C-alpha cells in the first residue's frame, strides 16, 4: 500500500505520537479520579449482561444475574481498542 499515515489520517506521524502521549496522560488522570466509580447493572439489562459475559466471562456475573461495571473494566476495554487502533495505524507507518 503506498498511502502514508499523513495521506490516510491527515496528520503526521509526530502529531499522532503527540496525540497518543496526551491521551495516556488524560487516561492516567482519569484513572485516579474515577478509580472508585462503578455502575450496577441488573439482570433485566440483557444486552449489557451478554456483553460483559462475552468480554470478561461468566465470573463477572453475580448470583442474581446482574453485574457491576467498574472503571477498571472500562479501562481494559479502552486499552484493547487503543491497541487495535495502534496496530492499524502502524500498517501505514
- pLDDT in the model for residue 5: 54
39 CB-near residues (< 8 Å, 6+ apart): 68, 69
Q: Is the dihedral of CA 24, 30, 31, 33 positive or negative?
A: positive
- In tens, the pLDDT along 44-68 reads 999 999 999 999 999 999 999 999 9
- Give pLDDT < 50 ranges for the chain: none
Closest CA to 43 of 69, 66, 59, 68: 66
- pLDDT in the model for residue 2: 54
The ranges assigned to domains in the chain are 5-90
Q: Are strands 38-41 and 67-70 parallel, antiparallel or unpaired?
A: antiparallel
DSSP string, 25-83: HHHHHHHHHHTT-EEEE-TT-HHHHHHHHHHH-GGGS-TTS-EEEEHHHHHHHHHHHHH
Intra-chain end-to-end CA distance of the chain, in Å = 11
Amino acid at each position: 500500500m503506498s498511502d502514508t499515515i499523513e495521506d490516510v489520517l491527515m496528520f503526521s506521524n509526530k502529531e499522532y505520537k503527540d496525540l497518543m502521549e496526551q491521551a495516556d496522560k488524560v487516561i492516567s488522570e482519569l484513572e485516579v479520579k474515577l478509580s472508585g466509580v462503578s455502575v450496577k447493572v441488573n439482570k433485566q439489562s440483557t444486552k449489557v449482561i451478554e456483553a460483559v459475559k462475552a468480554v470478561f466471562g461468566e465470573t463477572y456475573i453475580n448470583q442474581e444475574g446482574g453485574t457491576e461495571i467498574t472503571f477498571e473494566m472500562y479501562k481494559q476495554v479502552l486499552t484493547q481498542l487503543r491497541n487495535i487502533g495502534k496496530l492499524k495505524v502502524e500498517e501505514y507507518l
